[in-house]
Chain A
Amino acid sequence: MTRVIIKNGCIIDPARKTATVGDLVLENNIVQEVIDFAMAPTSYGDEAQFIDAAGCFVTPGFIDIHTHLREPGFEGKETIATGIDAAVRGGFTTICPMPNTNPALDSASMIRQQYDIAARHSPIHVLPIGTVTLGREGKVLAPLIELAEAGAHGFSDDGAPVWDAHIMRQALLYSTMTGRPVMNHCEDLSLVRGAAMNAGAIATRLGLSGWPAAGEEVMIARDIALAEETGGRLHICHVTTAGGVALIRSAKARGVRVTAEVTPHHLTMTDRWVLGNMEPWDGKGPFDPSRLPPYDTRTRVSPPLRSADDVIALIAGLRDGTIDAIATDHAPHTHVDKETEYANAAPGFTGFELALPMLMTLVNTMQIDVVELVARLTLGPAGIVDVLPVALGPGDPATLTIFDPSTTWTVTPEALASKGKNTPLMGQEMRGQIMLTMMEGQIVFRRDNFGVVSRREHGGAVGKLAGVFDEEE
């Protein structure tokens, strides 16, 4: 019997909406008890092992329902192995790779291969999303039942929309036999063709072709109408506009089976970032604007960074539950993919390892409560791809993340395990860092010697750590 005590952290249980400062007692890889620090015993016995989490949050492992691991086909950008390494360093214990690989994940064998490769590397859950249509071509439905039986947790042609309304309707109908959602990347191709950034004042000034908010909203409205009629289960990938949030909010109020996700970057960055260093940054962010020149291709992402008004609406949607989940849309690219003219650059940001510190800027500026935030990183996404339980109460698996909200660190290529170094935050100082990630009791990531407590320290006058020591010493 192994007993591990995570000591003195702030334990967040999004299922119970509680935050408890105290000790999390794990036994045989299962949560045994959450003990308020005032009630904590002075000793847990000689056999117990300790992790000192003072000053840190202890939460269920994060779940990311929208990621790109690029394998097979684009291993120069990322592999399943490097993607997992980055994910655990970002606090994620469940990740859902999108099927826009080459070949696409449109058959049972392709889905099974994802499981096989991931299992060889790590015990974290890699739950692939299958395609909606064969080859993601939008023409012929993929074998959705076979995909689901092989372990696909949803269906998406992500990277491209299911543009044909009839095919989308068929997918929503047919997928009801699987219980899995159809996750659409909402982008009306006729409205956004050639678009490099959000349509509006900044695009006009920079002379870049604009992607109007309506290019997203038109398809969200279409899909909601189809879901309403068919009773199918619809998930809106990366909503980015105020109008999109309003459409989803009213659909939910009518009882339509629709869920939605938002990315950390659309919650924290605006299209002014494409302007680079001349304009003041929105949100009075803590970043150094001189590190970002105009037309920096690291600001190119699909859907594009939107206006400040959109960001405000997204945060409101996240808080009131219109938006169920935060998903990174982790989209690693090579240096060469980005070192080109703005409109030619591959869209997307590396996401796993920056998600938490980016999101903590919202907590630090009082725009969202940390318990709410954790819920949108755990409970919300879990409901969409059906992974439960997500809680830190007695009997729950010891699948958890520990992060320090106050540690500062600088984003450098070396600091990121992902092959994708593509982020407009390169060179910036971030506040908040994942310290330890545990999957069913097994430590899958530990930063430096986080939480290790020596007998020597114990022997000293470390009052708050009474009873804490490390077995190895």
Chain B
Amino acid sequence: MNSQSTPDRRRHILDLDDWSAEELRTVLTIGTQMKDVLARPVKQVPTLRGKIVVNMFWEDSTRTRVSFELAAKALSANVLTVGAKDTSVKKGESLVDTVRTVQALGADYIVLRHPHSGAPYLVTQHFRGSVINAGDGRHAHPSQALLDLFTMHEQLGELADKKIVIVGDVLHSRVARSNLWALTTMGAKVTLCAPPTLIGPASYWKATWPNVTISHNLDHAAEGADVLMALRLQHERMEGGLLPSLREYTRRFGLNAARVALASPNVLVMHPGPMNEGVEITPDVATGPRSVIETQVTNGVAMRMAMLYQLAGVN
């Protein structure tokens, strides 16, 4: 939904809804190169030397924040991370106000994590540099989807016609939405699996992603899957009638060894983290032989470097 839709002109990365397969392949290639950089004794290249990257994290996050910090530092940028708790947001400072301040301080890039869907779009209207969406509400989490795509591509090769099952709280998941864009663009067959209260009417999804499969039965969905991706179940979902109990959820929708056995022998078990082990995934599966959950974290730094690298020419 950016007005900058061609790869060489892209100024922000807010969502993957307007990325072509070619553009996704390009960023995967850059990611491979960045992964090589990170394997060197000196894990740094000068791409962003003299540039200022401000991580604005208006929501708690460990892995995404640290991953973006490492990525920017590996590209030699000056990095500053501010959180809502240690800023004037407490005093009622608005997002736009903060952005103007960060701009006046000389920032070239803003990496924004925000609890409200659409917040990065507001930021682009008040910031002359580049904005990377590090997760906005339920809407999008492009860096997570790109690192997921990279991990799948690295392990499985071409993703066309691969069966990808995303199970969990799809309704509230920005990870699911961004993965949907990236995976369907690459030709993968995506199944979203969740209780109806955590996904809503199927037509709401099929209008945008006509080829997506909606399932309420993980035993059926898992059959022959090439990827089983579990999403984090927020504990507060028990409120408001979305779920009667965690136990019931785990029985029907938890990833366990029996369900992994239904999938392809080469299935990848994935999770964007942080995990509730024993709820959406059992500990043996999370650390088992099919799990690539730690690889996802490692690849995250490389892909975030690739994202910053892609924008580097624009500023």
Contacts and interface: CB of A to CB of B under 8 A. Distances in A.
Given A206-B117, A278-B18, A341 B177 contact: no
Interface string A166-206: 00000000000000000000000000000010011101111
Given A206-B118, A207-B139, A340-B122, A201 B18 contact: no
Nearest to A279: B1
B3 A201 contact: no
B287 to A, nearest CB: 31
Nearest to A205: B208
A343 B117 contact: yes
Interface in A263-283: 275-278
Contact of B122 (A199, A204, A341): A341
Interface in A317-354: 339-344
A340 B114 CA distance: 12
Interface in B196-244: 200, 203-205, 207-208
B133 to A, nearest CB: 11
B116 A343 contact: yes
A115 interface: no
A290 interface: yes
B174 interface: yes
A443 to B, nearest CB: 41
Contacts of A293: 1, 3, 121, 124-125
B1 A342 contact: no
A416 to B, nearest CB: 21
Contact of A207 (B3, B95, B174): B174
A207 B204 contact: no
Contacts of B3: 277, 290, 293
A210 B200 CA distance: 10
Contacts of B122: 295, 297, 339-342
Contacts of B119: 341
Contact of A342 (B17, B117, B203, B204): B117
B117 A204 contact: no
B116 A344 contact: yes
Contacts of B136: 207
A208 interface: yes
A201 B116 contact: no
A123 interface: no
A219 B166 CA distance: 37
B62 interface: no
A294 interface: yes
B102 interface: no
A207 B1 contact: no
Interface in B1-26: 1, 3, 17-18
B118 A340 contact: no
A201 B1 contact: no
A206 B118 CA distance: 8
A208 B117 contact: yes
B264 to A, nearest CB: 29
A244 B101 CA distance: 47
Contacts of B96: 339-340
20 contacts: A201-B204, A201-B207, A204-B200, A205-B17, A205-B177, A205-B207, A205-B208, A207-B117, A208-B117, A208-B138, A208-B139, A276-B1, A293-B3, A294-B1, A294-B118, A340-B96, A340-B122, A342-B117, A343-B116, A343-B137
Given A199-B200, A204-B208, A342-B118, 20 more contacts: A196-B117, A201-B203, A201-B204, A201-B207, A204-B207, A205-B17, A205-B177, A205-B208, A207-B138, A207-B177, A208-B118, A277-B1, A277-B3, A278-B17, A297-B122, A339-B94, A340-B95, A341-B114, A341-B122, A343-B137
